[in-house]
Structure 1
């Protein structure tokens, strides 16, 4: 069965090839990676001839793709269009001069031939093929310690603001801690696929008991569940940090661990 998203992707390709103002275009994400389903977004970078960039009507261009229920420019400057059935399309409009910046991306994410929609000069292919297929992982002791330390940074903030009674702020901080905890778990378990978006497919990428443990770190903004989640985040984070340190990373900072144990376990004990 052809998904509605695939029809939209084909339509974007037709429009790109017909529009001489476009120098290059690519798609990325689930469809380029061959992992898409009915819930997947469609995602594009469109590179416009520099002399045409100021006059191209982005919204009018998107309206030609298909019926749009709503559109917004997100906080990263991308145009996000919502098509029927809540299909979400993300469109980054850039100039031809920005093609070179593709070579600074952390990884390609999919074969170049699956990503390229249009490449009139060959520059886009060269930029994509210069990228590694997968992102560089933390490997050196200082890189691993930095990852674990960033987890602790957000967790300590969540602990303090929860004690102050700022429950929504604590949930926000804990969400940042969870993202780093996911990276720690992926690295510790050797399940580093989907590294750039560590929550993606976590329930199938990670062992079942690890995924279930990470579920314990999620919370609502009420004192009881927040307390449990912060405590669970530290217990699982401490274990992964120790695993990673034992594999050749820097030794865990014992005094810091003792401070966290005392603070977290006294306020957020294991049920």
Structure 2
């Protein structure tokens, strides 16, 4: 067994033993049957309201096993670093939050694989209400929005790079690359990991697509940033045109021509 599998088994044991816990679910790679030595362990824990108000989160996590460090990330999630640099994400919530699960874009795995504990049946109802897969951009308006958001971040990267703010340009490019991956997945009909488009991209997408996308990754050096912006635009322009042709949405040709010009890719 992988160390992560031992941790998952231990969390399951703790969940069933904790009478203050109303429900719990796991998600991510292991729930999907894709976990490996580099995967996280990920849980939502739903406590009774009174118990949640006084819960010592660190003490609960310490019962799992040795922990190197715990940090609350920018989304309010407790992230624990276990030995071997294994990450564990733990969302501490209340039973009243179970209903919000039904607002997620999709299940990340079959319901039975996600449920760790469900004392009231509310968690199963919420999960079963979700689609098995997220809704994909389908019509002209959806594709136009997706491609436009890519252009938004790419143009920002271009301008701040020209100003000399190379670190900011790299940051903007990272956002552009995320939308570029969505465009690539949609154009290539490889939408298996839509919610996290960079996940397993090297195996999901074709060799040619991956090779092109790798040129969009950069470091904060002026020449490298300019090259990455240009590479991202070459990929993005191709996918934009392909997707627009597929769904029949209008292509903003003047914008494309100007981007061709400033990136030197005309």
- Normalising by the smaller structure, the TM-score range is over 0.9
Task: State the Cα RMSD in Å.
Answer: 0.9
| SS at 1:221 equivalent | coil
For 2:29, the equivalent position in structure 1 comes to 30
Q: Secondary structure at the match of 1:226?
A: helix
Structure 1 segment 190-229 matched on structure 2, within 5 A: 190-229=189-228
Please name the residue that 1:53 is paired with: 52
Which runs of 5 or more residues in structure 1 are unaligned? Answer: none
Matched residue of 2:243: which SS?
A: helix
Residue 92 of structure 1 aligns with which residue?
91
Tell whether the 8 Å contact from 2:138 to 2:247 is kept in structure 1 after alignment. Answer: no
Q: Once the two structures are superposed, what CA deviation does each residue of 1:147-188 show, in whole Å capped at 9, x if it has no partner?
A: 000000000000000000000000000110000000000000
Q: CA deviation at 1:248?
A: 2.0
- Return the TM-score normalized by structure 1: 0.97
For residues 13-162 of structure 1, what are the structure 2 equivalents within 5 Å? 13-162=12-161
Runs of 4+ in 1 over 2 A off after TM superposition: none
Q: Deviations over 1:43-75 (max 9, x none)?
A: 000000112111111100000001001111111
TM-score normalized by structure 2? 0.99
Say if 2:163 is the partner of 1:164.
Answer: yes
Mapped to 2, the partners of 1:84 and 1:260 lie a distance apart of: 47
**8 A Cα contact 2:226 2:263, kept in partner:** no
Task: List runs of 5+ in structure 2 lacking aligned partners.
Answer: none
Residue-by-residue CA offset, 1:115-165 (whole Å, 9 max, x unaligned): 000000000000001000110000011011000000000000000000000
Deviation (angstroms), 1:251: 2.0
Q: What's the offset of the Cα at 1:249? A: 3.2
Figure out how many residues of one structure are paired with residues of the other and give that number: 266
Give 2:247's aligned residue: 248
